[in-house]
Amino acid sequence: MITKYRAYFKSEIKLPPYLGAIFQSILLEAINLELAHELHDGEHSLRPYHSAVYLSKDNEYIWDLIALNENISDAFHSKLSSLFKDHYLKTFDTKIKYLDKYECSKTSHAELFKKFYSSDFQENDRVSIKFITPTTIKTEGRYLHYPREDLILFSLLKKWDSFSDEIKLFDKDLYETISSSLLVSSIVNLKSQFINVDKGKVSGFIGQVNFKIKAKTRQINQLINLLLEFSNYSGIGIKTAIGMGKVETISN
């Protein structure tokens, strides 16, 4: 089960646009100690949830909290009253007030797979990704400040296989094929952006990237579209549990 919670809030003062690390602390304080250790430990890019806080065009802050398996979904659900309530942010000496707006939606890896592998699926060869919060993928010891198609797909395949119990997707030969089938066609307002993490900063990129899918077979087209749809839940790249890698895909 994949569960997406979305809450809206306002602040008494102007806050930084990205607050994922601070809200991870709120999350860890709300849940039990054992689960907190489970969520906090392990590889940043493969934690079983995606959390991102960002400023909307209406100057409202949005907190997206997405559980990527059933156990985490149940744990989050049991603590919603503690999570989505007015909080005092010590870092900024201010209070935030939640608005009377709340959304919850559910799906599963199996449902997503069925959607894209059904006979009704219409092949789509153009997809845009809006990188809403700073996104980066670490490779060979460095952070990338631009979208690299093969690493985006590799990140999504790792996330899918880590959290899907029934359906596994990674295959080396298949990965090499899809890596050469997704191409950047144009870039819109892509720029570097920092996000505060603990006592330091990590840089990534935000903006929109338009992709062309040049798939030789229907199966390849299906898999790429499935992975890009999954990115709306999992995020892309590293540190998606503390606010990075929030994306929105648009089929053109």
pLDDT in tens, 204-219: 999 999 999 999 999 9
**Do residues 58 and 82 both lie within one domain?**
yes
**Do residues 217 and 191 both lie within one domain?**
yes
Measured distance CA(133)–CA(206) in Å, rounded = 6
**Do residues 115 and 171 both lie within one domain?**
yes
**Do residues 90 and 114 both lie within one domain?**
no
> Of 41, 76, 107, which closes a domain?
107
Measured distance CA(178)–CA(155) in Å, rounded = 13
**Do residues 13 and 131 both lie within one domain?**
no
Burial of 20 (0-12, 13-18, 19+ CB in 10 A): buried
Residue bearing tokens 């631009």: 146
Share of the chain above pLDDT 90, in %: 63
Please report the DSSP string for 122-138 in residue order. Answer: PP--EEEEEEEEEE--E
> Of 42, 75, 107, which closes a domain?
107
User: Which domain, by its residues, includes 21?
Assistant: 2-107
> Of 107, 123, 143, which closes a domain?
107
**Do residues 122 and 247 both lie within one domain?**
yes
**Do residues 101 and 114 both lie within one domain?**
no
Does the pLDDT of residue 118 top 80, yes or no?
yes
pLDDT of residue 67: 94
Share of the chain above pLDDT 70, in %: 94
**Do residues 120 and 234 both lie within one domain?**
yes
Confidence band of 124 (pLDDT split at 50, 70, 90)? very high
- Burial code of 154-166, b = ≥16 C-beta within 10 A, e = fewer? bbbbbbbebbbee
CATH at residue 58? 3.30.70
Measured distance CA(64)–CA(114) in Å, rounded = 25
Does the pLDDT of residue 250 top 70, yes or no?
yes
134 close to 244: Cβ distance less than 8 angstroms = yes
**Do residues 116 and 99 both lie within one domain?**
no
**Do residues 174 and 238 both lie within one domain?**
yes
pLDDT of residue 206: 96
Does the pLDDT of residue 71 top 90, yes or no?
no
Q: 252: which 2 tokens? A: 């053109």
CATH at residue 225? 3.30.70.1900
Burial of 225 (0-12, 13-18, 19+ CB in 10 A): buried
- Give the single-character DSSP code of 200: E
Confidence band of 80 (pLDDT split at 50, 70, 90)? confident
pLDDT in tens, 31-60: 765 566 666 555 555 788 999 999 988 889
pLDDT in tens, 151-201: 999 999 999 999 998 899 999 999 999 999 999 999 999 999 988 777 778
**Do residues 99 and 113 both lie within one domain?**
no
Average pLDDT over residues 79-101: 90
| Domain count across the chain | 2
**Do residues 144 and 90 both lie within one domain?**
no
